[in-house]
Amino acid sequence: MSVKISGVIITFNEEKNIERCIHSMEDVVDEVLVVDSFSTDKTREICQNLGVKFIEHPFAGHIEQKNVAVQKAEHDIILSLDADEALTEAARTEILKIKSQWEYDAYYVNRLTNYCGKWIRHCGWYPDRKIRLFDRKIASWGGENPHDRVIVKEDARIGFIKADMLHYSFPTIHDHAKTANHFSEIAAREAIKKGKHVSIIIHVLLNPWFTFIKKYFFQLGFMDGYHGFVICILSAHSNFLKYNKIRMLTKYENSNQQDR
C-alpha cells in the first residue's frame, strides 16, 4: 500500500540547521511542516523561502510541541526530525521504498552523531536507535522532557530503516556544556513533578562516576579519542547537575511551603 508522508520539524532559532534538515526530507515527503516557537533569528525567513508550511506555536515542552506538529500535519504517516538532524541518501532511498509499500506501524532508524566535527560511534551514542517514521493513529510523542521519544501502542508492528540518520549535535564543547546545563534544569523540574527524591551518596556522588565509567569503558567511549573523553565527562557532569538541582529545588519548595 502506497502512503503519503508529512515531514514535521519543531524549531527555535535554528537558522544554522533548518535548511539542511528540510532539504534532506523534501524529496521523500508530501509536505514539510515546521512548527516554530517564535524564533528571533532567520528561521522563519529561511522556511518561507523554501516554501514549507510554517506555523508559530508557544513552546510548552519538547513532547508537547512535537505532538502539536504531528496533530497539525496533513497526513497520518509522519516523518519527524529535529532541526539538527538530516537523512542520508541511503535513508531517503529506504524511506521511498517503505512509502511505496507501507508494511509496519512505525520504523526505527539509527542515528549517527557529529560532535565538534567528529562522527561518534561509541559512548552509547551509536547506533542510538530512534523511531522517526510512524503512523500517528498508532504512535505519539511521550517520555520525559527533555528526552522525548515516540511511544507506540502495545500491539504495534515496528520495522527498521536500514540506513543512518545524521545528527549534527554540538559544533563546540561550549554548546554541549550550555545544553547540558539547560537540559539538566528541565529534567530536574520534571523529576520533582513526579516526586523524585535524591540521595546525596547514590545520586549526587556515585551516579556521575558510574555514568562516566559506563560510557568511557563499557560503551567504549575511549575509542572515540579526545572527543569521546569529553562526551563522557560532560555526560557525568550533566547527571551531577540534574541531581543537585533536584535536591536544591526540593529544599526551596519545602521551605516555601513551610513559610505559608
Catalogue all structural domains in the chain, each as residue range(s) with its CATH number. 5-170 (3.90.550.10), 173-259 (no CATH)
Residue 164 confidence (pLDDT) above 90: yes
94-147: pLDDT as tens digits? 999 999 999 999 999 999 999 999 999 999 999 999 999 999 999 999 998 888
User: How many Å is the maximal CA-CA distance in the chain?
Assistant: 63
Q: Write out pLDDT tens, residues 202-252.
A: 999 999 999 999 999 999 999 999 999 999 999 999 999 999 999 988 887
d(CA 187, CA 185): 5
pTM over 0.85: yes
Q: What are phi and psi of 112, to 5 degrees?
A: -105, 125
Q: What is the mean pLDDT of residues 179-186?
A: 94
Closest C-alpha to 209, from 228, 173, 237: 237
Dihedral sign for Cα 228, 231, 236, 239, please. negative
3-state secondary structure 92-110: HHHHHHHHHCCCCCEEEEE
